[in-house]
Amino acid sequence: MSEKDLMTRRIKPITTAAVIFFLVSAVAPLFVASWATLFALILAKGIVVLGIVLLLQAGQVSFGHAMFFAIGAYTSAFWGKYVGGGDILLYLVLGGISSTVFGLIVGLFVVRYREIFFGMLNLAFSMVLWSLLEKMFPYTNGADGIRVARPGLLGFVFTPETFQYVILYVSLLIAAAAFYGVQRYLESPLGHMLRAIKSNETRLEYLGMSARRVLLIGYVISAFLGGIGGTLVAIIQQIATPEFGFWTKSGEFVFIAILGGGAHAFGAFAGAAMFECVRFYAAAHLADSWQLILGVVLIVIILYAPNGLIGLRQRYRQSGKGGR
Amino acid sequence: MADVLLSARDIKIRFGGVIAADGINLDVHEGENLAIIGPNGAGKTTFLNISTGYLRPQAGTVTFLGQDITAHLPRTITKLGIARAFQIPQLFLDQTVMENMLIAAASRQGYPSGFKALARLPEASEMERLLELVGVRSYAERTARELPEGQRKLVDIALALALKPRLLLMDEPTSGVASSEKLEIMDILTTALAKEKVTSVFVEHDMDMVERYAHRVAVWNVGKIQKIGTPAEVLADPKVQQQVIGI
């Protein structure tokens, strides 16, 4: 069986798993209220990690993607602080626009570089942003961050109990749309060209395409997703702090992408679910050393499922064949 | 005489002490298969690199259909109608042969837009025809990584043909291929070029291939064109035999 057949047979079950995941995200919190915020966070972070997965197609890893996450979050925070009021949809539109514009500006520089230089340049930009957020205390409240007041939705206001479900379902709708859109993008000519950058950029240029432009489009989409995810997390947690743009946050997104696997858009959500669940329960039982548990999980994944959680099924199938 | 497609005038380039081109003048005429022969390091591939925008000469100009392309980028030159096939086939190894072809077709159309799946592009049937033409249709659903070297070479050429070029530049199209397959590959290749009405320039070391398939031969030696003419004229020249062919 060719590699292509294997890929096709792998992708269909993954799409089914994605549908099941979104259904569980919609239904499970109705039975356990505390899961509403947990699932909303998983979905919001999954959207950000989708952007990382997109760049992984081109073989590029951004160690500074949290800057777009922070921009989305701070756009809502600034609006609330300086304009007042607000609406979830307004925050999402503003967060999406600001991160896209910022992504385009940063992207024009970083797409000229590849591999470690691409990763480090992203890190450098994110650290500049983090420093500005930390040091411009009169505007940003420094390390304390800015509170994000609970916004309404289309003119409706909600109690905290209801709001956790509202933001969950908004996150779910956006996550499902982002998942579908990214998967369609990856299957489109541009998505294939993005993958072509990883395997043979020279040939792409000799086919008449600008590899930089192809990567820039992917990068800007990735920044947009980062901004949307950041806006959602700021609304869910009702705060935006400089930590949102710190390098450890970027590392967390890369960690989640590796955990989930980069071969399919669902890897972002599988990784986010695993990450947040481990953190949620490990932090409850091992308050000071939950990172240890996460580290062990990542080591196990790298050793036994180098293609991430979504690569597990293929590995299982192959080991089954080998055993016969 | 047919129209001149590509014209190089007084091209000069050197790499340190190595002279790759020292005042080269060369015309490529529409409809011909021009072979470039010469010792290793003579500057044959450098000429292809200059003609496709990968290198800029230190002096001289290259024109294509009368347009100066000396300072153009490879992708700009590709869009003007010059395609390239490489000595080591340059494929997207993780994608299927058909996906490789469709990426080329999409590039030619200038798609960066649209969310239509690559596999559903209307150019799919045309790409199948080209794969059939170069004899690798049966490999369409295999990933490029799985192909043997000979088939990779043919897919590399099919990729170039997918761009519908006026001129195809090929660097040693039969290198790395078993001797028994060389004739078959060149037969397929020249038939495809004739059918698609594509002019070609190919760098070659195998004199048998040059004699059979080239209309004209240019002998490149120490950055200069030592002789140019029909294969019979050139290969019979005692100096060429001694200095280039090594008889």
DSSP annotation string for A253-289: HHHHHHHH-SSSTHHHHHHHHHHHHHHHHHHHH-TT-
Which tens digit of pLDDT belongs to each residue from B72-81? 999 999 999 9
The mean per-residue pLDDT over the stretch A83-99 comes to 91
Which residue from A269, A98, A68 is spatially nearest to A171, judged by alpha carbons? A269
Alpha-carbon distance of A199 to B144, in angstroms, equals 11
Whether the per-residue pLDDT at A289 is higher than 80: the answer is: no
Q: Which residues, 6 or more positions from B108, have their beta carbon under 8 angstroms from its beta carbon?
A: A207, A208, B162, B163, B164
- Mutate one of B88, B95, B108 to test the A interface: name it (highest A CB count within 10 A): B95
The mean per-residue pLDDT over the stretch A210-228 comes to 95
What is the interface pTM, i.e. ipTM, of the complex?
0.89
Any CB–CB contact under 8 A between A8 and chain B?
Answer: no
Q: What's the pLDDT score for residue B246?
A: 67
What's the helix, strand, coil split of chain B in %, to 5?
Answer: 40, 25, 35
Whether the per-residue pLDDT at B171 is higher than 80: the answer is: yes
Q: What's the pLDDT score for residue B111?
A: 66
- Mutate one of B103, B109, B123 to test the A interface: name it (highest A CB count within 10 A): B103
Name residue B21's beta-bridge partners.
B13
Buried/exposed B73-92: b ≥16 CB within 10 Å, e otherwise: ebbebbbbbbbbbbbebbbb
Residue with tokens 């609970």: A150
Q: Are A44 and A236 in contact (CB under 8 A)?
A: yes
- The alpha-carbon gap from B226 to the nearest alpha carbon of chain A, in Å, equals 30
Whether the per-residue pLDDT at A324 is higher than 60: the answer is: no
Whether the per-residue pLDDT at A1 is higher than 50: the answer is: no
Q: Are A171 and A40 in contact (CB under 8 A)?
A: yes
Whether the per-residue pLDDT at A322 is higher than 50: the answer is: no
Residue B119 and residue A187: Cβ atoms within 8 Å? yes
Q: Are B135 and B188 in contact (CB under 8 A)?
A: yes
Neighbour count for residue B29 (Cβ, 10 Å): 16
Share of chain B above pLDDT 90, in %: 53
Higher pLDDT, B2 or A167: A167
Which tens digit of pLDDT belongs to each residue from A262-275? 888 899 999 999 88
Higher pLDDT, B54 or A283: B54
The mean per-residue pLDDT over the stretch A103-120 comes to 94
HSE of A269, CA atoms in CB hemisphere, 13 A: 30
Candidate from A185, A193, A202 with C-beta closest to B103: A193
Whether the per-residue pLDDT at A323 is higher than 50: the answer is: no
- pLDDT-derived band at A315 (thresholds 50, 70, 90) equals low
Alpha-carbon distance of A165 to A272, in angstroms, equals 19
Alpha-carbon distance of A47 to A41, in angstroms, equals 10
Any CB–CB contact under 8 A between A195 and chain B?
Answer: yes
Closest residue of chain B to A192, computed from CA coordinates: B103
Candidate from A187, A188, A208 with C-beta closest to B75: A208
Closest residue of chain A to B141, computed from CA coordinates: A4
Residue B107 and residue A204: Cβ atoms within 8 Å? yes
Phi, psi for residue A272 in degrees, rounded to 5: -65, -40
Question: How big is the CA angle at B187 (ends B182 and B190), to the nearest 5 degrees?
Answer: 120
Closest residue of chain A to B73, computed from CA coordinates: A205
Q: What is the rounded average pLDDT for all residues in chain A?
A: 88
Residue B96 and residue A199: Cβ atoms within 8 Å? no
Which tens digit of pLDDT belongs to each residue from B192-203? 999 999 999 999
Any CB–CB contact under 8 A between A219 and chain B?
Answer: no
Q: Which of A7-11, A54-58, B167-171 has the lowest mean pLDDT?
A: A7-11
Q: Which of A66-75, A182-191, A221-230 has the lowest mean pLDDT?
A: A182-191
The runs of H, that is alpha helices, within chain B are: 44-51, 74-80, 97-109, 124-133, 149-161, 179-195, 207-213, 231-236, 238-240
Any CB–CB contact under 8 A between A77 and chain B?
Answer: no
The runs of H, that is alpha helices, within A32-114 are: 35-57, 66-78, 88-110
- pLDDT-derived band at A50 (thresholds 50, 70, 90) equals very high
Q: Are A245 and A130 in contact (CB under 8 A)?
A: yes
> And the tokens for B223?
């950055």
Q: What's the pLDDT score for residue B39?
A: 84
The mean per-residue pLDDT over the stretch A34-50 comes to 93
- Rg of chain B taking only CA atoms, in angstroms: 18
Q: Are A280 and A38 in contact (CB under 8 A)?
A: yes
B156 three-state secondary structure: helix
- How far, in Å, are B14, B30, B81, B88, B94 from residue B74 at the CA level? 20, 21, 11, 18, 23
Higher pLDDT, B115 or A96: A96
The alpha carbon of residue B83 and the mean position of all alpha carbons in its chain are separated, in whole angstroms, by: 7
Which tens digit of pLDDT belongs to each residue from B205-239? 888 888 889 999 999 888 888 888 998 888 888 88
The mean per-residue pLDDT over the stretch B147-161 comes to 91
B1-81+165-247 CATH pick, 3.40.47.10, 3.40.50.970, 3.40.50.300, 3.10.180.10: 3.40.50.300
Residue intervals of chain B classified under CATH 3.40.50.300 are 1-81+165-247
Q: Are B227 and B196 in contact (CB under 8 A)?
A: no
Alpha-carbon distance of B232 to B215, in angstroms, equals 10
Candidate from B79, B90, B145 with C-beta closest to A208: B79
| DSSP run (H or E) holding A303 | helix A290-304
Closest residue of chain A to B168, computed from CA coordinates: A206
Q: What's the pLDDT score for residue A130?
A: 94
The mean per-residue pLDDT over the stretch A98-118 comes to 95
Alpha-carbon distance of A33 to A158, in angstroms, equals 16
- Contacts with B78 from chain A: Cβ below 8 Å: 205-208
- Mutate one of B87, B107, B138, B151 to test the A interface: name it (highest A CB count within 10 A): B107
- The alpha-carbon gap from A188 to the nearest alpha carbon of chain B, in Å, equals 4
Buried/exposed A277-312: b ≥16 CB within 10 Å, e otherwise: ebbbebeeeeeeebeebbeebbeebeeebebbbbbe
> And the tokens for B145?
């990584």
Alpha-carbon distance of B86 to B176, in angstroms, equals 12
Q: What's the pLDDT score for residue A317?
A: 63
- pLDDT-derived band at B63 (thresholds 50, 70, 90) equals very high
Residue B115 and residue A204: Cβ atoms within 8 Å? no
Closest residue of chain B to A203, computed from CA coordinates: B90
Closest residue of chain A to B78, computed from CA coordinates: A208
Which tens digit of pLDDT belongs to each residue from A156-208? 888 888 899 999 999 999 999 999 999 999 999 999 999 999 999 999 999 99
The mean per-residue pLDDT over the stretch A308-312 comes to 80
Residue B116 and residue A189: Cβ atoms within 8 Å? yes
- pLDDT-derived band at B112 (thresholds 50, 70, 90) equals low
Phi, psi for residue B234 in degrees, rounded to 5: -70, -45
Domains of chain A: 3-323 (1.10.3470)
Q: Are B144 and B152 in contact (CB under 8 A)?
A: yes
- Mutate one of A2, A180, A182, A203 to test the B interface: name it (highest B CB count within 10 A): A203
Closest residue of chain A to B110, computed from CA coordinates: A209
- Secondary structure letter of residue B218 according to DSSP: E
Any CB–CB contact under 8 A between B120 and chain A?
Answer: no
Residue A185 and residue B115: Cβ atoms within 8 Å? yes
